[in-house]
Structure 1
Amino acid sequence: MVDGQIRGSLPGEPREISDLPLRGRVSCTGFIESVTYVPASERAQFAAIVVENIIHGAAAASPPHLRVVWLGRRRVPGVEPGAKLHFEGMVTVREGTPTMFNPRYEILTRQER
C-alpha cells in the first residue's frame, strides 16, 4: 500500500495484463480474444476476454487474460474479436479471473475482415 491506497497503476500508467494487481484502479491495453452474448431471457450484460497478444494457431498455454463486463448492455459497438482497446477501471478477481466491470475504454484499432 502506498499512502493508504492499494498498489496499482494510475490511469496514466498502463500495465500489462500479466502484471495486473488482484484489485485496484488500473489502466491496460489488450486485444479482444472473444465476446459472450447472453440470451434475451437473462439479465443484460456483455462480456469480453482481453489478452495482451492474439496468438494464431495452436497455443501452448492459456495466455494471461482479463475479463471485462458491461452490465446492463447486450452489445458494445466496436468491441469484437481482434479489436485492440485501452481500458481503465477497477479490477477485481471473480471466479479466479481478473475482471473489470463497466470500464472506460478507447478503441485503438480493429482487425480488418
Structure 2
Amino acid sequence: MSITRERRPGRLRRLLGRLATDQDELDNSELRESSQGLGHRTIAELADREVATVSGTIRNTTLSPLGQVPALRAELYDGTQRLQLIWLGRRSIAGIHPGTYLRARGRVCTKDGIKTIYNPFYDILPNRGR
C-alpha cells in the first residue's frame, strides 16, 4: 500500500502560473484583496436596501440629467461586480474620474438591475488600501 500525499505547487510553478494568468484577472484579484483588506464586503455580496461601505476603482463617469436635476454618475468596480454611484445636483466632483480608487458608503438599491448608491459619502484613497 502506497501513501500519496497532496503536494503544493512550488514557488516556480506558482510564479509561472501567475505570469500565465490574464492581466484582468490579476487586477480583479488585487481589487478584491484591497477591498477585503480594508474590511469591506464585496459588491457581489451586497443585498438590496442595506447600508454598506465598499471600495474600488472608478471605471467611468458620466453627466446625465435626472428630470430637471443634473446627476454625476460613476461606475465603481471592486473586482467582483460594478456599482453605480449617483450624486444628484452635481456636475462634477474634484478627484472623481476614471482610475480613482475610493471608498463609498450609503444605502444600496437596485436600479435597472444594477446596484446603486445615491449621494454616497466617499473618501478618495491614495492607493488600493495599503
Rounded Cα–Cα distance in structure 2 between residues aligned with 1:38 and 1:93: 18
Choose which of 34, 45, 52 in structure 2 pairs with 1:26: 52
TM-score by length of 1: 0.71
* 1:34-62 per-position Cα deviation (integer Å, ceiling 9, x unaligned): 101237xx521100000014xxxxxxxxx
Q: Distance in 1 between matches of 2:97 and 2:104?
A: 14
Which of residues 103, 118, 130 is equivalent to 1:86? 103
* TM-score, normalised by the number of residues in structure 2: 0.62
Q: Which runs of 5+ in 2 are unaligned?
A: 1-37
Query: Which residue number in structure 1 is paired with residue 74 of structure 2?
Result: 48
Give aligned-pair identity as a percent. 32
Alpha-carbon contact 1:35-1:81 (below 8 Å) kept: yes
**2:53 aligned partner, one-letter code:** S
Q: Distance in 2 between matches of 1:95 and 1:109?
A: 32
Matches within 5 A, 1:58-97: 64-97=81-114
Once the two structures are superposed, what CA deviation does each residue of 1:52-80 show, in whole Å capped at 9, x if it has no partner? Answer: 14xxxxxxxxx510000000101111110
Larger Rg belongs to: 2
Greater share of strand: 1
**Which has the larger share of helix?**
2
Q: Which has the higher contact order (CA 8 A, sep 6+)?
A: 1
Pairwise CA RMSD: 2.1
Q: Distance in 2 between matches of 1:107 and 1:38?
A: 22
**Runs of 4+ residues deviating >6 angstroms:** none
